[in-house]
Amino acid sequence: MSRRPSAIPHRFLLLLLFFLLWCASSGGQQRTASAQCLPDQSAALLRLKQGFNHSTLGALLPSWRPGTDCCRGWAGVTCDVASGRVLALDLSNSTISGDVNPALFQLTSLRSLNLSCNQFDPVPMPSEGFGMLANLTHLNLSDSGFDGQIPVGISRLKGLVSLDLSVHNICSSSSLRLQSPDLKTLVRGLANLTVLYLDGVNISADGHQWGQALSSYVPNLRELSLSGCSLSGPIDPSLYRLTSLTLLRLHQNNLSSEVPGFLGDFSSLTLLRLSSCGLRGSLPSTIFSLPLLRTLDLSKNPTLSGSLLPGFPANSTLEQLLLFDTSFSGNLPDSLGNLRFLKILRLSGCNFSGRLPASFPHLARLVYADLSSNNFTGPIPSFANISKLDLQNNSLTGSVRPWLFHHPSLQTLRLSSNQLHGGLGEFRPVNSVLEIVDLRNNKLQGPIPESVSNLRGVKELRLSSNRFNGTVGLHMFGDLGNLSILDLSNNMLTVETTPSSPASFPNVSTLNLASCNVAEFPDLLRNQARLSRLDLSNNRIHGAVPTWLWSVGNGALAYLNLSHNSLTGFESSPDLSASTLSVLDLHSNKLRGAIPRPPPSNIVVDYSDNSFTSVLPPDIGSSLNFTIFFSVSNNSVRGEIPESICSSSYLQVLDLSLNCLRGEIPRCLADGENDLRVLNLRGNRLSGSLPNTFEEGYCKLRTLNVNGNRVGGTVPQNLSRCGMLEVLDLGNNQIEGTFPFWLGELPGLRVLVLRSNRFHGPLQRLGRPPCSNCTFSMVQIMDLSSNQFNGTLPTATLRSWRAMTATGRGQDAFQVGSVGFLNLTRLYYQDTVTVRVKGMEMTLVKLLTIFTSIDLSNNSFVGSIPEEVGELSSLRVLNMSRNGLTGRIPSNIASLKVLESLDLSCNNLSGEIPPSLASLTFLSVLNLSNNQLVGQIPQGGQISTFTDASFLGNQGLCGIPLKRTCPNKAVARPATPASNSMRELNWDFIFVGLGYGGGLALVMGPFVFWSNGRRWYNQHVDRMLWAVVPSGLWLCGECRDGKVDAEERVGGGSDTEEEEEEEQVVEERRYCVFCTQLEVRGQSLTVRHVHCSCNLEQ
């Protein structure tokens, strides 16, 4: 009886279980029936599909078939289980193109619509219909290819929580704009919005407009991304209301603002990205202490600074810290080790200095560290789990530690351009996973260790520009099957290029063996199937270029540099019609014969400094369709310049200088149809006149050099339309006319050389109407010598030459005439200008802003030297010789503290030499000869180092170094503080005089009283002079009434008849003691000047 009551509950529980199972089954059948897609929903979806372009349909839409349930198996479709209506449509990443059928907007129950990353472009976003999707909470049309204005209907979707219309130009090339309606209109009715992504949409609003719109209408935003929206600043203070933000991305806008301090109060912020925003000033330190911040990106803001990074808290959550390309400076704090979650650290291109913190080993999660291009010093610290380490372009010292080669996780090691020294030593790369090793531009020395051959996974091995020595066989790298780049250039190595088997050398894409004492073309090159870059420059390769070299790489070779060898020709005339070479550099060899026709895809071609003798092919332009740089300078190229060269529309540098070209300069080179920046034709035999077809807005010339030709006519006034012109060298031609004062309107003109032409007239129009702006404010080399200019020197104009004053130069580090070529090659073009420096012609290859020169010599200028010359405080060379200048030498010339050469000879200057000239400590050349100067030559300082040649021809001058003694009176010296008594004896002068006298007596006595001494002097003085000044400065002592003929032309610019006439003139010249140019031929020392001819036999 005791068991019966207990059986009832068991039966009850069993019945209850069956009842529940029946209910569940019945309810499930009811729900399944109610979830069937409504006919109008499936019909709308099918019409939507019909508007798409079927040729691009992916695997998504084939499941959309008539007669099937859209709520079952239609990919991307989510339905309401109760009503059968479509709630969500996700067609993202489906490569769909075509039109958006209006049937889409019949899906009025949609809550989520995602069409991102498709190819609707260039289809405008539907202007009508979005307002019908009143239930929509999530809308994502990012990178879908829509174009044009964002429709106003989206602003009526009051239930929107998330809106993404961003364009990243990854999946799409479209261009959306938000201007009418604007941002304010869009967000005014979206009070529930918490996520807003409009990256890449053209909003074009100032800081107040977009700031007020967001803070007023969508204050609950948690994620805000407006990168690349053409927003301007400053950042509006009203944004402090967005305190719920967890993500803020405003990068790639022109905010031009300081970083607002209220960002440090956004305690929920996990990501802050303000890169490339034009931020300035200092960063609020509170931002580094935000408790949840994981990513901080302030990179690419060059004017954003901070003298020291703040201390990082121990509980920091930072995972990514990106401050590269900013102006942060100072030492890295040791608290950097507190960032225990840090994975990525990028601080490159800043001004950080000091030693790297010893706390780096504590960053156990750090996998990527880029600290390149700073001023870090000291040794390389260790890193626990680093994968990519970039420390290049610093001042790190010490050795390359062995652990770097067997670190278990290190894949990329970049240490180039530091001060690392010592040998690498052998190492055991047992666990090495290294793929990139870059040790270029250090002071590493010794042999390359054999252990390198065990870095089996290495892809790039760059060891160039160190001090490695010894012999390296390329067989060392035979086991590096993954090797793609091998760079051993510019060491003290001897590379043996013949491995045991050419097939054992890996197939590389880049092989750089410049300056490796290579004596022949490596035979292993024949087997290189994917070689794209080959540099064998500056080696000992001689003879002919083999024919097989042009087929190396099976058509992949894009860069070939054979410059600075002793190549004499080609095995056979190279046929480059099928070549893929972009850069072909053969300069500085001994190649002769016909110029090879450039490959069709060339960008840089350099044939300069060879012995090519052919003419330029008439259709050369057809081979220069993509060429940026083309040079055949310093050859013996004949004929005329082909007009077809003008068809090279991309050509930036054309250098045909120092050849034997004749004819006229093609007018088409100036008509703006090309992209010419540098046109160098100096040292040829060109005639005619300068082109006069320069067009404003089209002329991009930065350098025009026709020095040393036979060009005549006048300077075309439309040359002033070349607003980018920096260097204009027309010297040594036959150009005539008055001074082209209108060139002063060119804002960047730095070099103007008109020497040795037929210009005439005064310079007084400078700075006066109609040329009030012709100031030459940036000129740093002005050479008007050897013309027929006259009149007085313009005083006001000198004051406007700001580039020759210290205040006008500032921190200008611009280098004139440097034209680079992207990343194609290290080659860059440097202008070459010939000027007269320190009494002799000098060719300046690099025109830096530190060099300034004024040469007005050999003209007919009269009047006094303007006092304004003393204001040109950066002037290094001043030459006003061979004119008719009168008056005194301005005493304020002593203000030119960096003056190195001063030549005022052959004028009619009078008065005394200013004693202050003795204070010019840099002065190495001084010529005041052949004037009417009087008085005592100042003593002391640099002026005491000059010989009597600097003062000859001044009958009134006396004192050392002249033999003419002065009357007994005070010696002219640099200004000193007044003594206590003007009558006080200066014993220094007495003892100095006794010393000079005694020394002179000891030296000259034997020659006066001892006949053997005189004979010895006459016999050996020439040899002594030759030993001391084999290439020194010689000054001509005769001036022909202040006028000298134009200098001899350069580069073969005179015919045989002209040379014979010149030789006849030389025979009629009087004997000269001092001359300006030395020429060594065998054992004879030939001294030449346009008014003298001397020959000293050795």
**How far is residue 498's CA from residue 496's CA, in Å, rounded to a whole number?**
6
Residue 90 has pLDDT above 70, yes or no: yes
Q: What is the pLDDT of residue 771?
A: 60
**How far is residue 478's CA from residue 507's CA, in Å, rounded to a whole number?**
10
pLDDT digits (tens, 9 = 90+) for 841-867: 555 554 445 678 999 999 999 999 999
* pLDDT band, residue 796 (cuts 50/70/90): confident
* pLDDT band, residue 811 (cuts 50/70/90): very low
Residue 1045 has pLDDT above 50, yes or no: no
Helices (H) and strands (E) in the chain, counts: 9, 65
Highest-confidence segment of 144-158, 799-813, 963-977, 1083-1097: 144-158
Nearest-10 Cα torsion for 447, 448, 450, 452: 170
In the structure encoding, which two tokens stand for residue 1028, read together? 């001391």
Contacts of 132 (CB under 8 A, 6+ apart): 105, 106, 108
Q: What is the pLDDT of residue 145?
A: 86
Q: What is the pLDDT of residue 309?
A: 85
Q: How many domains does the structure of the chain reveal?
A: 2
Residue 215 lies in a domain: no
End-to-end CA distance of the chain: 148
8 A C-beta contact, residue 623 and residue 642: no
Q: What is the pLDDT of residue 179?
A: 86
Inter-CA distances, 111 with 88, 157, 222, Å: 6, 11, 20
8 A C-beta contact, residue 280 and residue 260: no
**How far is residue 800's CA from residue 1058's CA, in Å, rounded to a whole number?**
41
Picking from 1037, 1015, 824, the residue whose alpha carbon sits closest to that of residue 947 is 1037
Q: What is the pLDDT of residue 1074?
A: 29
* pLDDT band, residue 180 (cuts 50/70/90): confident
pLDDT digits (tens, 9 = 90+) for 630-648: 999 999 999 999 999 999 9
pLDDT digits (tens, 9 = 90+) for 346-382: 999 999 999 999 999 999 999 999 999 999 999 999 9
Picking from 475, 467, 525, the residue whose alpha carbon sits closest to that of residue 495 is 475
Residue 1069 lies in a domain: yes
More confident residue, 307 or 510: 510
**How far is residue 657's CA from residue 680's CA, in Å, rounded to a whole number?**
6
CB atoms within 10 A of CB 776: 24
Helices 1011-1028, 987-1009: crossing angle, 10 deg rounding: 110
Q: Minimum mean pLDDT among 177-181, 184-188, 237-241: which range?
A: 177-181
Q: Which residue has the tokens 């290859």?
A: 845
8 A C-beta contact, residue 817 and residue 678: yes
Residue 1077 lies in a domain: yes
Q: What is the pLDDT of residue 802?
A: 84
8 A C-beta contact, residue 89 and residue 56: no
pLDDT digits (tens, 9 = 90+) for 895-927: 999 999 999 999 999 999 999 999 999 999 999
Domain carrying residue 993: 987-1038+1055-1097
8 A C-beta contact, residue 96 and residue 57: yes
pLDDT digits (tens, 9 = 90+) for 689-717: 999 888 777 889 999 999 999 999 999 99
Residue 1074 lies in a domain: yes
Residue 736 has pLDDT above 50, yes or no: yes
Picking from 147, 189, 181, the residue whose alpha carbon sits closest to that of residue 165 is 147
pLDDT digits (tens, 9 = 90+) for 229-263: 999 989 999 999 999 999 999 999 999 999 999 99
Highest-confidence segment of 474-488, 960-974, 1070-1084: 474-488
* pLDDT band, residue 141 (cuts 50/70/90): very high
Contacts of 181 (CB under 8 A, 6+ apart): 150, 152, 155
**How far is residue 323's CA from residue 301's CA, in Å, rounded to a whole number?**
9
- What pTM did the predictor assign? 0.77
**How far is residue 682's CA from residue 1053's CA, in Å, rounded to a whole number?**
10
Q: What is the pLDDT of residue 912?
A: 95
Please tell me the chain's helix, strand, coil percentages from 3-state DSSP, rounded to the nearest 5.
20, 20, 55
Burial state string for 1053-1088 with b = 16 or more CB within 10 A and e = fewer than 16? bbeeeeeeeeeeeeeeeeebebbbbbeeeeeebebb
**Mean of per-residue pLDDT scores for the chain:** 83
Highest-confidence segment of 667-671, 794-798, 1038-1042, 1094-1098: 667-671
pLDDT digits (tens, 9 = 90+) for 187-225: 999 999 999 999 999 999 999 999 999 999 999 999 999
Q: Minimum mean pLDDT among 601-605, 777-781, 1084-1088: which range?
A: 1084-1088
Residue 877 half-sphere exposure toward CB, CA atoms < 13 A: 22
Residue 283 has pLDDT above 80, yes or no: yes
pLDDT digits (tens, 9 = 90+) for 551-563: 999 989 999 999 9
Residue 1013 lies in a domain: yes
pLDDT digits (tens, 9 = 90+) for 15-46: 555 555 554 444 444 444 446 899 999 999 99
Residue 372 lies in a domain: yes
Contacts of 393 (CB under 8 A, 6+ apart): 372, 373, 374, 416, 417, 418
CB atoms within 10 A of CB 364: 11
Residue 521 lies in a domain: no
Residue 299 lies in a domain: yes
Residue 1058 has pLDDT above 50, yes or no: no
Picking from 804, 807, 791, 803, the residue whose alpha carbon sits closest to that of residue 870 is 804
